[in-house]
Every structure is written in C-alpha cells, then in structure tokens.
Structure 1
Amino acid sequence: MAYETIKIEIADRRATLTFNRPKVANSMNLLMMEELADCLEFLRDNPEVQILVIKGEGNIFSAGGDIKMMVTSGDPKDFESIMNYISRMVLALYQLPMITIAQIRGAAAGLGFSLALGCDVIVAEENSKLAMNFIGIGLIPDGAGHFFMKERVGTPKAKQLIWAGDIMNPEEAYRLGLIDYHVDEGEAESFVDQLVGKFLSSPILAMLETKEILHGEKMMELTNILKREASGQVKMRKTEDHLEGIKAFIEKRAQQFKGK
C-alpha cells in the first residue's frame, strides 16, 4: 500500500507503521489523518498480522496535530473531517486483533501521545518528551486522550495531568504508569524487536482473545468519549483562549489566558 505521509511494512506476522513527515516533527495534517484511518482499518481486517509496531521517522515520534492546519482550517467542514478521521483511526487502533507497541523516540505530544497511549505496550527512549499538552493552546485532548489517560492512571490523576499539560520525561511517565518501559537512547528498536520475538513465540491467540474481551467491554465508553471530545473541541476552538494559545505558539511567547 502506497501512502504519502506514513509507511507500512508487513512481514512475518508483524506490521510496522511509521509516521513519515520528519521535516515537520511528524505532525499530523488532514492527509496523514486520513491515511492513518485507512491504514489502521486495513490492518484491523488483516488476520495474518499479530503484532503492530508504531514509530516515527527520524528522531521524533509525533508532535501531534499540525498547528498550521489548525490555523488554516476555519471551514467547519474541514474540522468535521479532522474529527471524523481521528475517531476512525482511534476506533480501528483499539479494535486491532493484534498486540500494538508504541516505539517512542523524541517527542510524543498531543494527538501523537494519545495514539501512543492507545497501544497495548509503550516503550520510550530516555531522550523522549511526553506531553498531553492540548491545554497550552486552549483545547481539550482528542484522539481519545481522556479515555486512554483514565485507563492508565485513573480519573483524578488523568484530570490533573491533562490540566497541567506538563512535558514529562520517561522516568516520570513510567512512575505514573503512562508508559511500560524506558530504555537508553538508541535502544528502543532492539528492545521492541525482543518484545516482538517474545510475543510471537507465546500463545498469542490466547493473549489476543483476552484483549478482545477487555476492549470489547469498553467500546461503548470509548465511542461516547470520542463524540464528546469532538463536540467539546468545537466549543474550545471558538474561545478567545484558544486563539491566544495559537497566537502565542506561533509568536513563541508565553500565553495570556483570560478564561474566555
């Protein structure tokens, strides 16, 4: 399958999905979201694949949504398409009949971090920076960030982390339970390869049955959260605080939020 913004490789029961916009920190524009939705839906219906590794090209996982796209996507239809693609890719990722591994190097922020949290196993290198930082531009998490954060750390802590929007190093994220392994810089690929080998030599069909049972019980909640995130994001994009957050980001200055 040929894509412009991502790469997919399949061999020996393993698929590797790579975000491929390294010149813009693997940020996700509308095309990339569409391609991710299509690719994950294709994988969902491919029974030959039992492991999926998600990573970023170059020295970064993903900086999240493309800020330039946010500035230029004033048309409500564009924003509707964005949220539709996000919902499609999250639902497909969560329902994949395979073990999913996020292999993080560099930054995993915003929507990029949401997708990483949606994986079964998260491995981050020591140089990584992890952030659910939507709050910095006056938005709420999307990509089921609310759902995945709550699943990992519980509701009270999820709220606090989302509200703070802090950049975390892997040690902090590991202590909180947001990631599963942190490894030395440059070691993520070999570590993930070992994990893949271990999973593929295990009774993986039984493991996947467990995943299907546990995830199946959460599907209604996940679907509802995606809908509420979409409607909430529409409201937030109309606020003065969001416009200030975007302007401050572009101008590389501190935000001056007013609660409006």
Structure 2
Amino acid sequence: MYIIEEIANGVCTLRMNRPEKFNSFVRDMALDLQGKLDNASSDDSIRCIVLIGEGKAFCAGQDLAEATDPHGPELTAIVSEHYNPIIQRIRRIEKPIIAAVNGVAAGAGANIALACDIVIASESASFIQAFSKIGLIPDSGGTFFLPRLIGWQRASALMMTGEKVSAKDAEQMGMIYKAVAEEDFASTIEKTAHMLAQMPTKGLGLTKRALNQSLSNNLTQQLDLEDELQSQAGRTHDYQEGTQAFLEKRKPEFKGH
C-alpha cells in the first residue's frame, strides 16, 4: 500500500509509504495519493488532512529509476499526470491540509509540502530543490510557491544551487510555518490537526479560496471576493454558533458547516 490512510476524530492522515526509497514517487503511488485526497475531500466527517512520510524521510520526490526506465512513463506524463493533479487537489480541497515534514523533503516532495496550507517540520528535516542537480527545473508548483514564500532572490538561489535548507532556516526565512524539536514533533502535529478539525471548516475553506485567488487578483477584485465570501461565511451554522458562544461566554461547538 503506497499511501496509508488513517482517520480519527475528524483528521485524515495520509502516510506516504515507500520508506526504503525515502518515499519517492512512482506512478501508482501518485495515483493512490490523488485518490486518497479525493476521498478526504468528499467525506464530510474529515475536517483536516495531514500528509506525512513513513520512516526517516518525508518525500524524496520522483523515483529516478522509474523516470529513466525506457518502459516507464515519460517525463512529461510524470509532471502532467502525477504531480500537477496532486498540487491542484491540495489547493482545491477546502479543508486545512498540514504537511508534517518528518525528514528530508526533496524535489517534488519539497514542493508538495510547500503547497499545503500549514507546514510543520521536525528540526531534523530539510528542504532541497534538487532539480538542478540533474538538469531539470523545479516542478510541482515550486516556481510558483517558493518565490512568494521567501522572495525572488532566495528562491532563485536555492533552485539554481540545490542548497539544502534546514528546518530552522526554513522557518526563519518564512518557507514554513514552524520547526519543532524532534521529540515534540508528533504531539505538535496531533495537537494542531485536532484543533483544526474542531474549527469552523467551511470558514477555513473559504479562507483558503480567498488566499488562492489573491495570487492573481488586484486589490479591488480581492475586496469584492472578500465581500462575497464573507456573506457565504455569515450564512453558516458555525458563524451562528461562534457568535452565540461568544455572547454566552462559552466554548463554541463547531460542526464544520
């Protein structure tokens, strides 16, 4: 099983499961992840998704043995059929997605992590734009997300040099949300995912939609969008519950709709 799925308390954990290959992708693994993301998207009981790697690595990107196999998929198919659909799903699913980077995240593995809503890494983890080492360009949204996260100069340098970035350095430059001590990593992921799964999922999804569209909207367009989405949020059960709980000075019980 390439992707291990665990569902508990509103959290769907998707565990990439090729530890002997540092969770590098082959075609069946990419398609399995796409299918598992679709299932998590359509299941209303799931209110948060966690993506993590089995073993010592998060994901080392593409398995080069498959990419160079004369009987395997062509490079263009690997990008267009394997990785692009994963990135599109991560951004389209209107539920919070946490990348729990437990080890090295290289190539497409790094950029899959950066496409997620919240990236939390173990201090022992690292991020590598490894594409230049083999004469390729960053794919899986790397050239889109990384400059927006850390700026043009840093992104350009990291992509061209293939320099390894530690989790702490990634946090300091704004590439990720947080780097935590290895002994606290599992509990931090569990606590964060549980918290998000109890929050107003519809509102979080609309926030994600607004962030997505902010990447191409001008200010006027974004203000109009905020107006529209705020109206939608104001019609949700969770808005009514949140305001009522505030007035009654109690903890809200959000339902996710």
TM-score normalised over the length of structure 2: 0.78
**Structure 1 29/48 Cα, relative in aligned 2: closer, same or farther at 3 Å?**
same
Give the alignment of 1:76-87 within 5 angstroms.
Answer: 78-83=74-79, 84-87=81-84
- Determine if contact 2:99/2:120 at 8 Å carries over to the other structure: yes
- Determine if contact 1:104/1:188 at 8 Å carries over to the other structure: no
Structure 1 partner of 2:88: 91
Q: Output the CA distance in 1 between the equivalents of 2:55 and 2:135.
A: 29
Q: Output the CA distance in 2 between the equivalents of 1:87 and 1:42.
A: 18
- Determine if contact 2:52/2:100 at 8 Å carries over to the other structure: yes
Q: Give the one of 192, 196, 209 matched to 2:193.
A: 196
Q: Output the CA distance in 2 between the equivalents of 1:73 and 1:217.
A: 42
Matched, 1:57 2:49: no
Matched, 1:30 2:23: no
**Structure 1 6/144 Cα, relative in aligned 2: closer, same or farther at 3 Å?**
same
Q: CA deviation at 1:217?
A: 4.6
What is the aligned-residue identity percentage? 28
Matched, 1:213 2:210: yes
- Determine if contact 1:37/1:89 at 8 Å carries over to the other structure: yes
- Give the SS at the match of 2:182: coil
Greater C-alpha Rg: 2
Unaligned runs of 5+ in 2: 218-257
Q: Output the CA distance in 2 between the equivalents of 1:218 and 1:109.
A: 25
Q: Give the one of 100, 105, 110 matched to 2:107.
A: 110
Q: CA deviation at 1:219?
A: 8.0
How many residue pairs get aligned? The number is 216
- Give the SS at the match of 1:87: helix
Matched, 1:16 2:20: no
Unaligned runs of 5+ in 1: 221-260
Q: CA deviation at 1:47?
A: 3.1
- Determine if contact 1:44/1:95 at 8 Å carries over to the other structure: no
Q: Give the one of 134, 146, 149 matched to 1:149.
A: 146
- Determine if contact 1:10/1:16 at 8 Å carries over to the other structure: yes
**Structure 1 219/7 Cα, relative in aligned 2: closer, same or farther at 3 Å?**
farther
Deviations 1:29-71 (A, max 9, x none): 1111121222223323333321010100112111111021122
Letter in 2 for 1:202: M
Q: CA deviation at 1:113?
A: 0.4
**Structure 1 46/134 Cα, relative in aligned 2: closer, same or farther at 3 Å?**
same
Alignment RMSD: 2.0
Letter in 1 for 2:94: P
Letter in 2 for 1:78: E
- Give the SS at the match of 2:164: coil
- Determine if contact 1:6/1:20 at 8 Å carries over to the other structure: yes
Letter in 1 for 2:124: N
Q: Give the one of 116, 125, 130 matched to 2:127.
A: 130
Q: CA deviation at 1:189?
A: 1.3
